[in-house]
A and B are shown apart, each in its own frame.
Chain A
Amino acid sequence: MGARRVRPGGELSPRALAAVMNLPSLVTLALVLAYPIYYAAYLSFHKVALAELRRGVFPFVGLDNYRRVFADPLFLLSLKNTFIFTVVSVGAEIVLAVTIALLINERSVPLSRMTRVLILLPYAVPPIANGLIWAFLYNFDFGFLNRILFGAGVITTPIDWVGNPQTALYVLTIPYIWRTLPFAILLVHAALQGINPELYEAASIDGATAWQRLRHVTLPLLRPIIVVILVLRTSFAFTVFEEVLAITQGGPGDATWVAAWYSYRRSFAPPFDIGVGAASAYVLAFAVGALAIAYVKMIYRRIE
């Protein structure tokens, strides 16, 4: 440390202090985020499978991994499934989040208070445990959902919830929505509390009905937070993994292969083709990255 940098009284200059205080974060971020992001790109241009891992030599193959990924019908199917899964789950979440947030905002309804506490439960449940529980709910022979429907007299023969390739992907969105909906509800609820009650009073005096107040006062004021939820949830739904692992493992057939599942299976299951896995993960990262940049631009515009 040069003498120039140390103030009288032994205090570091702001520049030196900033460097020292950020050292732990920078080292960790470099090791866990920066280097792996670079290294994933490196791996995606090299042949890396079991034999290469053992020898420690990864031959350069150029764009070969990407070519193989895009020539693989299973990858294209995974992308399509990811897209459908995202649109369905995020769309449903936004509608449900606004509805439930309005519901728990009702102070004169005693049960709303209980709902407000219980919506926090999904946070506490490990996604993989949630997945296994839904696997049990959906099970054809012993499943709990069929038991409930039998008990209610709704069905007479059991339903094979995730056994139908046509509907399995849609059925798979429900556990995911269960796990991630609270986040959206909490954000909408926080935004609702920021709305000035005088606006509602003014609208009532002007003779607006409850529906008109919702349509012309509440929803327009919720628009910014809905956009935030849309971007955040979309980027996370792109990477859905635990529910697929626990409930369908990609099946029946390949009906629920999604992008993250594809990368995982290519890399960590036979033939352990880490190069191809990295290339497919990078394609996913680019899709999410475009959304992330849009998000950053959006919130910085809001702050200014």
Chain B
Amino acid sequence: MRRSRLARLGLNLANLLVIGFFLLPIVTAAIGSLQSEKTLRADTRAVLPREWTLDNFRVFLSGGAQSAGSIYEQATYLPDNVKKIYYALGNSVVIAGSVTLLTLVFAALSAYAAVRLRLRWLAWLMELSVLARFVPIIVLMIPLYVTFRRLELLNSMWGVIIAEVGFLLPYGILILAPYFAALPQELDEAARIDGCTRFTAFVRITLPLATPALASFGAIVFIVSWNDLLIPLILNNRAEFMTVPVVVASLVGDVHVFFNLMMALCLLAMAPSVILVLLLQKFVVQGLAAGAVKG
């Protein structure tokens, strides 16, 4: 619909306002991370610092080897968790990667069975999946902690991976099932006449056709797992097993760490998922919309 010049000006201004709101925290973190504690303390009313520096990133990327004294006036120590940031990055990659792979495989198997095999208990499984999406994660944390403690899964990668897969599975089944249902069943049948079993037809015909849905959901799972705090926070408390968000959370209330370093860490924590979201925009939008609209 064509708009008058005045209306378009107004709409552009409204857009600027929205863009400003959504960029505010990102810009804040960027400016905060690019100055020293001294600069930040020296002038409490300036938006932009007089001097820019990359020292905050240098300090934690060198694992604290680089002296923090150069930029920290009052705080001279770096928490152990931050020194082990490379462990955390590695753990986050391994956990988010494994969770994505396992959730995709498990959810695809269940969704296909639910759609093509039409058994009553599978329909119940679908309804339970909708309900399961509502279980508050804080309710599960307490029994998960006690159970995983008994199974000796605390302070391990597997504990976190299993818990996150379980939490994301219902969501995956809900996204993939309608997608599989919309694929023409004739293709499966043709493959079976050519000698495929149901299972090989699923692997060779349905899965390749479902690549867009798998990519959408895969991207979302990776991001949710990468960003998740509660599960690794409660299950793992040793620095070697922490993920990046847990390290970030460990700085809350630490009087020795100043905002500059926190902002640098926050930027590091968001970088992989920001890149993923911007690269896979279309898939992310589709996946998010499908998860809520199609029951």
**B is bound to A:** yes
A21–B263 Cα distance when bound, in Å, is: 45
A103–B135 Cα distance when bound, in Å, is: 34
The answer to whether B249 touches A128, judged by C-beta atoms less than 8 angstroms apart, is: yes
The answer to whether A117 touches B281, judged by C-beta atoms less than 8 angstroms apart, is: yes
B217 to chain A, nearest CB (A): 14
Q: Which of A121, A200, A242 contacts B277 (CB 8 A)?
A: A121
The answer to whether A124 touches B270, judged by C-beta atoms less than 8 angstroms apart, is: yes
Q: Pick the interface stretch among B56-64, B68-76, B166-174, B207-215.
A: B166-174
**Nearest chain-A residue to B251 (Cβ)?**
A132
A40–B141 Cα distance when bound, in Å, is: 9
A98 to chain B, nearest CB (A): 13
A64 to chain B, nearest CB (A): 17
Please provide the chain A residues from 121 to 141 with a CB less than 8 Å away from any CB of chain B in the complex.
Answer: 121-130, 132-137, 139, 141
The answer to whether A103 touches B15, judged by C-beta atoms less than 8 angstroms apart, is: yes
0/1 per residue, B142-174, Cβ < 8 Å to A?
Answer: 111111010000000000001101110110010
* Chain B residues whose CB sits within 8 angstroms of the CB of A228 once the complex forms: 292-293
Q: How large is the interface on B (under 10, 10 to 19, 20 to 34, 35 or more residues)?
A: 35 or more
**A59 at interface by CB-CB < 8 Å:** no
* Chain B residues whose CB sits within 8 angstroms of the CB of A17 once the complex forms: 113, 117, 198-199
B182 to chain A, nearest CB (A): 14
The answer to whether B166 touches A132, judged by C-beta atoms less than 8 angstroms apart, is: no
A128–B265 Cα distance when bound, in Å, is: 11
The answer to whether B229 touches A103, judged by C-beta atoms less than 8 angstroms apart, is: no
Given contacts A112-B15, A123-B277, A142-B44, contact A137 B166 (CB under 8 A): no
Q: Pick the interface stretch among A71-79, A160-168, A214-222, A282-290.
A: A282-290
Report whether over half of chain B's contact residues are helix, strand or loop; otherwise say mixed: helix
Q: Which of B31, B135, B149 contacts A37 (CB 8 A)?
A: B135
* Chain B residues whose CB sits within 8 angstroms of the CB of A291 once the complex forms: 134
The answer to whether B166 touches A111, judged by C-beta atoms less than 8 angstroms apart, is: no
Q: Which of B41, B198, B230, B253 contacts A241 (CB 8 A)?
A: B230
A residues contacting B by CB (< 8 A) are 9-12, 14-15, 17-18, 21-22, 24-25, 28-29, 31-33, 35-37, 39-40, 42-43, 48, 53, 100, 103, 106, 108-112, 114-115, 117-130, 132-137, 139, 141-142, 144, 146-148, 150-151, 158, 175, 178, 183, 186-187, 190, 200, 225, 228-229, 232, 235, 238-239, 241-242, 245-246, 249, 260, 263-264, 267-268, 274, 277-278, 281-282, 284-285, 288-289, 291-293, 295-296, 299-300, 302-303
A-B CB contact pairs (8 Å), 24 listed: A18-B113, A24-B109, A40-B142, A42-B143, A53-B149, A108-B1, A108-B2, A111-B11, A115-B19, A124-B223, A125-B25, A126-B248, A133-B25, A133-B28, A133-B263, A151-B47, A187-B292, A239-B136, A242-B229, A246-B252, A278-B142, A288-B136, A295-B134, A296-B295
B residues contacting A by CB (< 8 A) are 1-3, 8, 11-12, 14-16, 18-19, 21-26, 28-29, 31-32, 40-41, 44-47, 105-107, 109-110, 112-113, 117, 119, 122, 125, 127, 130-147, 149, 162-163, 165-167, 169-170, 173, 195, 197-199, 223, 226-230, 234, 244-245, 248-249, 251-253, 259, 262-263, 265-266, 269-270, 273-274, 276-278, 281, 284-285, 288-289, 292-293, 295
